[in-house]
Amino acid sequence: QSVLTQPPSVSAAPGQKVTISCSGSSSNIGNNYVSWYQQLPGTAPKLLIYDNTKRPSGIPDRFSGSKSGTSATLGITGLQTGDEANYYCGTWDNSLSVGWVFGGGTKLTVL
């Protein structure tokens, strides 16, 4: 059971838009910064979004992040078949068990 809650899967057609939610609590998302990671099949995860909304150099602006209260959302527009991957949200948790926490991951299928 992951500390952060994500939908197991989402799907959409090429060219469409999709959003992936990440729900937490005041000890994690509510008081810390959220990052998002993309894991293509057979590869290591890659940083997609940091500081809730910012994109590292090289990440296209089709990817966006937002945060409100204890939830965060990853948005992907202009879907491409190459976007098929698992997506994870992550943040620091200040609860009794201090440390980083991740969502369970969301499998994106581009139909």
Partner 1 sequence: EVQLVESGGGLVKPGGSLRLSCAASEFIFSSYSMNWVRQAPGKGLEWVSSITGSSTYIYYADSVQGRFTISRDNAKNSLYLQMNSLRVEDTAVYYCVREGPSRYLGFDYWGQGTLVTVSS
Q: Which residues bind partner 1 (CB under 8 A)?
A: 2, 32-33, 35, 37, 39, 44-47, 50-51, 56, 86, 88, 90, 92, 97-105
Q: Where are the alpha helices (DSSP H) in the chain?
A: none
Minimal distance, residue 21 CB to partner 1, in Å: 15
Task: Count Cβ atoms within 10 A of the Cβ of residue 88 and give its class: 0-12 exposed, 13-18 middle, 19 or more buried.
Answer: buried
Distance in Å, CB of 14 to partner 1, minimum = 26
| DSSP string of 39-52, one letter each residue | E-TTS--EEEEBTT
Q: Which of 56/69 has CB closer to partner 1?
A: 56
> Which of 35, 71 has the CB closer to partner 1?
35
Considering beta carbons, is residue 14 or 47 the nearer one to partner 1? Answer: 47
**Cα→Cα distances 37→95, 96, 97, Å:** 23, 25, 23
